[in-house]
Homo-oligomer: A and B are copies of this chain.
Amino acid sequence: MARWQPNASERLVAAALELFEERGYEHTTVIEIAERAGLTKSTFFRHFPDKREVLFGGDTMAGLLAKGIAAAPATATPFEAVAHAMDAVSREAFTPARREFGARRRAVIAAHPELREREALKGLGLTASMTEALKRRGVPDLAACVAAELGALALKIAYECWSDTTDGDDFGEVARRTLGDLQAASQTLGLSGRSAP
């Protein structure tokens, strides 16, 4: 037994998600979240820097992606390195247990501009992290940018697909497939030529 009720952070996340679903993000007070978790406002801000962050806690994604890219075989192309990172992230962060939570979280975020704003910032962080990791592999700057951008897009799309069902492929498979589809799509947008003769 711990000193107080254990898992304060997780209780706060759960309380916040429930209240956001019930009353909406902007009609929910930090004090209300804390009270539902059996805590106080002070404690809330000791666990999260601000109200939005309660839904963006696990900030390990960027690091996992970077490590995954760094750990890819030296012979891997940029896209293959990104795909390698997807697998890493899938094993550590997108466990099957978080699937339903992901769907609820996503719905709440989509409904509130303030939360979408935070999500956008997190997306930039992921992109930057992947870009740096690719550059460290010797990938030229612009190529690293593009690969990271498409990797982040694949993550986003795959997250939607994955969290929308309770069964089916695990996250890694969905993400790899999505990345492949994006790669294929990017071949069809020719700048100077037409798509068909």
Contacts and interface: CB of A to CB of B under 8 A. Distances in A.
Contact of A188 (B143, B189, B195): B143
A180 to B, nearest CB: 6
A174 to B, nearest CB: 14
From A83, A179, A181, residue with most partner B Cβ within 10 Å: A181
B191 A180 contact: yes
Nearest to A143: B185
Copies in the complex: 2
Interface stretch (A16-24, A100-108, A118-126): A118-126
A149 B153 contact: yes
Contacts of A120: 117, 120-121, 123-124
Interface in A154-191: 157, 179-183, 185-186, 188-191
Interface of A: 75, 77-80, 83, 113, 116-118, 120-121, 123-124, 139-140, 142-143, 145-147, 149-150, 153, 157, 179-183, 185-186, 188-195
